[in-house]
Amino acid sequence: MPLALKIEKQSGWQEGALSILQTWHDIEKEKQKQKVGSKLPDLSKLRKTLFWDTDIQRIDLDKQFKAIIRRVFERGSDAEKQEMEKFYGYEKVVAAIREDDRAKPALHKVKK
């Protein structure tokens, strides 16, 4: 907090501006978590080499769902594909794959 006050003073910002920004950021992060829900895919079922170029823990699973689904269905194992179907749902997986002409993988119906 003392550092925030120094930065605000040097920047000519109103006192508390950084605290408000931090609170807003925390609220947005929490809303994102709730949007995706506490339900997360079992990332231990995804090989690290599947997402070699990025940290899967930092990916926005909701916004990037098409890219995630496509990558798993282009390069993933049956277990990885099934995990995506379980997490996103069969219909969302089918819709994401159909939008991509490059991916023509076989789908697996997840048992409910």
pLDDT digit string, tens, across residues 76-88:
999 999 999 999 9
Question: How much is the pTM?
Answer: 0.55
Q: Which residues of 6-45 are buried (b: 16+ CB within 10 A; e: fewer)?
A: eebeeeeeeeeebeeeeeeeeeeeeeeeeebeeeebeeee
Q: How confident is the model at residue 103 (pLDDT cuts 50, 70, 90)?
A: very low
Q: At 40, phi and psi to the nearest 5?
A: -125, 155
Q: Where are the domains of the chain?
A: 2-36, 43-98
Collapse the DSSP code of 57 into the 3-class scheme (helix H, G, I; strand E, B; otherwise coil) and give the result: helix
Mean pLDDT of 87-105: 79
